[in-house]
């Protein structure tokens, strides 16, 4: 557990001063409480409470790819780090397939993801969890949030949001146009609204393993994210936050491009009355010039790596060498790597490269 102590949040300072801290007020050991508790159905309260109780019983991590295609080398490296972080500490590691966006799922991708992880020796505990089988749960949470006044309907068109965003970049923070509108759940002006989480103007904080302080400003860096899309689809942030809580996840290891998503999900957990898990945002795979790998290079999946190096031991060696964990050309199994590594070495080595780019809100989703 050495490395976990190195970045305990101080809960002081930062852009928000001492106004209010999501997460910091509600430790993982706190019972569920929050603004909507009174309106939350008993079965949801019990589910979330069971997840928080599970957190007390030891490390539980997860890897949560979307079956929209094969895992590329960047995904594989993040999977390796997530697995190592769990297994070095003797923890559980779950595999969750984030397959809610059915039109984007690719046939056979879920099976290939599992086969690739197995081939690399990244074993998971229990059967894979499918978000598509948990839609009823997400719908219950959405209804409860809506009844509690935490959501508001937004009828802004994509066109409008695109027009007001920066000329070159994607819109990062929703400006709150619809906050005061009173729209029904049903169709308005001929189409259904999306539903946004009403974020308080406060700092969002979480325990972070990387050297960066886990903190974002709710109003200016995260904004009112969509939890239910106009087409009825449950949004990624809702499903993810509900799953981390209800499954009792203690530690989320993910790429640092998801920094802003973490802010949104931690804010939602606070609305649900629970503190966040711990996060480790790991560096994306960058080329020697510090740039993100080109889409083509990043997209190279196991098939290309197999052709270049052969077996799983060579691929684990390649992934680990790219992080400085082993010398280039090493061949070893994931299990051998796990046995060799100390937690403090793992975290210090992964962050040894001075990365000038602090993960920030720019990676966010409107």
CA distance linking residue 282 with residue 279, whole number of Å:
9
- Residue 130 or 171 with smaller CB distance to Zn ion: 171
- Residue 50 or 164 with smaller CB distance to Zn ion: 164
Q: What is the closest distance, in whole angstroms, from the C-beta atom of residue 177 to Zn ion in the complex? A: 4
- Residue 88 or 154 with smaller CB distance to Zn ion: 154
Q: What is the closest distance, in whole angstroms, from the C-beta atom of residue 146 to Zn ion in the complex? A: 16
Joined tokens for residue 259 = 């920094």
- Residue 151 or 242 with smaller CB distance to Zn ion: 151
- Residue 156 or 268 with smaller CB distance to Zn ion: 156
Return the closest-CA partner of residue 323 out of 343, 300, 304, 348.
348
Residue 189 half-sphere exposure toward CB, CA atoms < 13 A: 10
Report the alpha-carbon angle 130-132-134, nearest 5: 85
8 Å CB contact between 130 and 99:
yes
Q: What is the closest distance, in whole angstroms, from the C-beta atom of residue 156 to Zn ion in the complex? A: 3
- The residues of the shown chain that bind Zn ion, judged by CB under 5 A, are 154, 156, 177-178
Q: What is the closest distance, in whole angstroms, from the C-beta atom of residue 161 to Zn ion in the complex? A: 8
Q: What is the closest distance, in whole angstroms, from the C-beta atom of residue 229 to Zn ion in the complex? A: 13
8 Å CB contact between 305 and 277:
no
Q: How many other CB atoms sit within 10 Å of the CB of residue 162? A: 11
321 backbone dihedrals φ, ψ, rounded to 5° = -65, -35
- Residue 23 or 223 with smaller CB distance to Zn ion: 223
Report the alpha-carbon angle 165-159-227, nearest 5: 80
Q: What is the closest distance, in whole angstroms, from the C-beta atom of residue 172 to Zn ion in the complex? A: 15
CA distance linking residue 191 with residue 194, whole number of Å:
10
CA distance linking residue 234 with residue 211, whole number of Å:
32
């Amino acid at each position: 557990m050495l490395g976990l102590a190195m970045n305990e949040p101080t809960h002081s300072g930062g852009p928000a001063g001492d106004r209010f801290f999501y997460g910091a007020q509600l430790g993982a050991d706190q019972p569920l409480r929050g603004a909507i508790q009174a309106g939350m159905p008993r079965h949801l309260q019990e589910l979330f409470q069971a997840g928080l109780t599970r957190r007390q019983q030891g490390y539980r991590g997860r890897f949560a790819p979307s079956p929209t295609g094969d895992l590329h080398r960047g995904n594989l490296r993040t999977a390796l780090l997530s697995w190592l972080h769990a297994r070095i500490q003797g923890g559980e590691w779950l595999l969750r397939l984030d397959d809610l966006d059915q039109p984007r799922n690719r046939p056979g991708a879920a099976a290939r993801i599992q086969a690739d992880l197995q081939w690399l020796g990244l074993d998971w505990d229990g059967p894979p969890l499918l978000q598509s089988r948990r839609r009823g749960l997400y719908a219950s949470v959405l209804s409860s949030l809506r009844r509690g006044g935490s959501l508001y309907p937004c009828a802004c068109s994509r066109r409008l949001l695109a027009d007001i965003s920066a000329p070159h970049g994607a819109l990062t923070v929703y400006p709150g146009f619809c906050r005061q509108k009173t729209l029904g759940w049903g169709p308005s002006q001929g189409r259904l609204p999306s539903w946004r989480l009403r974020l308080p103007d406060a700092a969002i904080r979480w325990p972070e393993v990387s050297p960066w302080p886990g903190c974002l400003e709710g109003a200016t860096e995260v904004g009112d994210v969509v939890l239910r899309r106009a087409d009825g689809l449950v949004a990624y942030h809702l499903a993810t936050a509900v799953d981390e809580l209800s499954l009792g996840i203690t530690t989320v290891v993910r790429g640092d491009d998801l920094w802003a998503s973490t802010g949104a999900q931690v804010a939602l957990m606070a609305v649900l009355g629970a503190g966040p898990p711990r996060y480790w945002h790991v560096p994306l795979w960058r080329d020697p010039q510090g740039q993100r790998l080109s889409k083509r290079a990043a997209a190279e999946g196991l098939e290309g790596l197999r052709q270049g190096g052969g077996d799983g031991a060579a691929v684990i060696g390649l992934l680990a060498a790219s992080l400085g964990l082993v010398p280039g050309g090493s061949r070893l199994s994931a299990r051998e790597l796990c046995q060799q590594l100390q937690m403090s070495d793992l975290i210090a080595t992964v962050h040894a490269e001075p990365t000038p780019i602090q993960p920030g809100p720019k990676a966010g989703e409107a």
